[in-house]
A and B are shown apart, each in its own frame.
Chain A
Amino acid sequence: EIVMTQSPATLSVSPGERATLSCRASQSVSSNLAWYQQKPGQAPRLLIYGASTRATGIPARFSGSGSGTEFTLTISSLQSEDFAVYYCQQYNNWPPATFGQGTKVEIK
């Protein structure tokens, strides 16, 4: 089973600033990686798939990069609605699909 490790666990950022979230896979997952956003009391929402393709309706301030074992989600200018928990998920070697433990982006 591939283990996904996200860092940091919590990221404190001021509105308007850039946020950079990391996700590392225990072995290569090629570009088969997705990112999700989860707000309190809500279901996760797909942001990025294929490591860098934005899902339908996702603002351009969200971008994904990386391949193999190292991935990054960047939010270029944080808006108030972006404060949430973000999860990465690999789907290269499945089942099982595996998720990271999440990065909480909080207001600084």
Chain B
Amino acid sequence: QVTLKESGPVLVKPTETLTLTCTVSGFSLSNARMGVSWIRQPPGKALEWLAHIFSNDEKSYSTSLKSRLTISKDTSKSQVVLTMTNMDPVDTATYYCARILLNWNDVGWFDPWGQGTLVTVSS
């Protein structure tokens, strides 16, 4: 059974750095046909893709947030870490990690998703 679980602080102050960890099980981060994405969802709003990482350490970031995001992985620990600097109240959201499954053309969809973790940014 494939599962992903997010962990990290529930409350951060403005200007602080957020660090979230996604711990996966049931698949390996060294699998060349899979990756992990971070996606967030502000309360009552739509989904927003943030970043992804693949087994070869290829990384990509949201254009609008690129300067604030860093994604990394520890394959031995089955963990993917996302850091977001300079947090602001508008970054209040549920943050999800999700496995990426690649098709023959090396693009893919998200399945499954972690349960998500709500992060509130407030002083």
**A95 and B46 within 8 A (CB):** no
- List residues of B whose CB falls within 8 A of some A CB: 37, 46-49, 52, 60-63, 96, 101, 103, 105, 107-116
User: In the bound complex, how far is the Cα of B47 from the Cα of A43, in angstroms?
Assistant: 11
Is A1 at the interface (CB under 8 A from chain B)?
yes
User: In the bound complex, how far is the Cα of B108 from the Cα of A102, in angstroms?
Assistant: 20
Of chain B, the residue at the smallest CB distance from A92 is B107
Is A32 at the interface (CB under 8 A from chain B)?
yes
Interface of B is mostly: strand
**B110 and A95 within 8 A (CB):** no
User: In the bound complex, how far is the Cα of B105 from the Cα of A88, in angstroms?
Assistant: 19
Query: Given A43-B114, A50-B103, A95-B60, A87–B47 Cβ distance below 8 Å?
Result: yes
A87: min CB distance to chain B, Å: 6
B88: min CB distance to chain A, Å: 20
How many chain A residues touch B (Cβ–Cβ < 8 Å)? 25
A10: min CB distance to chain B, Å: 13
A89 partner residues in chain B, CB cutoff 8 A: 47, 109-110
3 interchain residue pairs of minimum CB distance = A95-B60, A46-B111, A43-B113
**A94 and B47 within 8 A (CB):** no
Which of B61, B110, B113 gathers most chain A CB within 10 Å? B110
A98 partner residues in chain B, CB cutoff 8 A: 49
User: In the bound complex, how far is the Cα of B59 from the Cα of A22, in angstroms?
Assistant: 31
